[in-house]
Amino acid sequence: MECPPAGPVLDDGTRRRVLGALLVCQRHSWDQGLTAAVLDGDGEDSALRALVGDAVARQLPDGRLAELDPACSVNGGIVGEYVDLVARRTGDAALTAAAARQRAWLLRSAPRAADGTLFHLVGPREVWADTVCTVVPPLAAAGHGDAALAQLDGHRSRLRRPDGLWRARWDEDAGRPADDRAWGTGNGWVAAGLARTVGRLPAASGAALAAELRALLDGCLAHRRPDGTLGDVLDDDASRADPAAAATLSYAALTGAGEGWLPAPYGAVGRALLVPAVASLDGLGRVSGAPAAPRFDRPGHSPEAQALLLLADAAARPLPGDGLTPDRRPRPRSPRRG
């Protein structure tokens, strides 16, 4: 498989435009979490602290952080991870308490099925693939590995199809899929969630997740089109190309290769997946043709697509000592507890 040249995929000017477009977008709670990940990876400590402070200012009484839409149940989990991270770095007691309230919501208070599997929304009793990324890594990062794995088990049992791809939504009351389609971005959320969790678990559990992610990547790549793109619905050749799906799967593959728990060739796979995502950028630095926020029912732009491209680009940057760009600082790894 041909991949782009070694070194950063985005030059500094393009990366600034992509980040600028992200920062001026209206963002929801999950977007804030992804933006926090970007800022942390870039070493933007002051901006990260400002972001988590705003997330706490917008925390709902029940513990959900940065939540502008009370219908969303679990999407504040990602930003909660970074509220906790900044709290531990700074010793800020108010941030520590806010992160604890978010965890308590996920662990005890949020709506869930009889077996404990979280519903994505407040009201509809549906399990969504997206939750694998918004809940599993933050729980593992906070030291709740068993709870993280229990959520993954519950989601997998409902959403992973016999072909290994993940369906979008499950209707708990009906006991059947609410949307059986294998959305590209939905499978990307699962892949990113697994990638962000592997290093936060004991070795055996982490190795099992790494193997699961490898199988998912292989299943998604089997539907890669001749032009290198992935479909909005992976196994529907008539669906439009989705650059956000390519960026998300790129991030997962590059993280695994960079951290050493996926074989090195997945680094080349991840870099190749970045090509259509980067090619989609418009003159304003926006990923174009992704499922458009806020309803994700047409092609357009979204904050999550911006952030996912930036995360993938950071993961694609070489490590010191590899002989490529020795002046670059180390790319960030997925943060661990402690």
Domain holding 198: CATH number? 1.50.10.10
Q: What is the pLDDT of residue 328?
A: 35
Answer whether 52's CB lies under 8 Å from 86's CB: yes
Q: What is the pLDDT of residue 317?
A: 87
Residue 249 lies in a domain: yes
Residue 327 lies in a domain: no
Joined tokens for residue 134? 């918004």
Evaluate if residue 69 carries a pLDDT over 70.
yes
Evaluate if residue 332 carries a pLDDT over 70.
no
Mean pLDDT of the chain: 93
Residue 307 lies in a domain: yes
Tokens 């992973």: give the residue.
160
Domain that holds residue 175: 12-316
User: What is the rounded CA–CA span in Å between residue 253 and residue 191?
Assistant: 8
Q: What is the pLDDT of residue 295?
A: 87
Evaluate if residue 323 carries a pLDDT over 50.
no
Evaluate if residue 11 carries a pLDDT over 50.
yes
Closest CA to 133 of 48, 211, 183, 75: 75
Q: Who contacts 101 (Cβ-Cβ below 8 Å, separation ≥6)?
A: 59, 63
Structural domain count of the chain: 1
Closest CA to 299 of 287, 311, 309: 287
Q: What is the pLDDT of residue 24?
A: 97
User: What is the rounded CA–CA span in Å between residue 67 and residue 51?
Assistant: 13
Q: What is the pLDDT of residue 242?
A: 98
Q: What is the pLDDT of residue 8?
A: 54
Residues in the chain: 338
Tell me which DSSP letter residue 199 carries: G
Joined tokens for residue 149? 């794995």
Burial of 4 per CB tally in 10 Å (0-12, 13-18, 19+):
middle
Tokens 């520590």: give the residue.
96
Residue 112 lies in a domain: yes
Evaluate if residue 30 carries a pLDDT over 60.
yes
CA distances from 254 to 4, 236, 287 (A): 13, 25, 19
Answer whether 175's CB lies under 8 Å from 235's CB: no
Evaluate if residue 329 carries a pLDDT over 60.
no
Average pLDDT value for residue range 47-68: 98
Residue 247 lies in a domain: yes
Residue 332 lies in a domain: no
Q: What is the pLDDT of residue 259?
A: 96
Residue 336 lies in a domain: no
Evaluate if residue 325 carries a pLDDT over 50.
no
User: What is the rounded CA–CA span in Å between residue 44 and residue 154?
Assistant: 36
Residue 312 lies in a domain: yes
Q: What is the pLDDT of residue 9?
A: 82
List, for residues 75-109, the tens digit of each pLDDT value.
999 999 999 999 999 999 999 999 999 999 999 99
List, for residues 219-234, the tens digit of each pLDDT value.
999 999 999 999 999 9
Closest CA to 260 of 333, 157, 336: 333
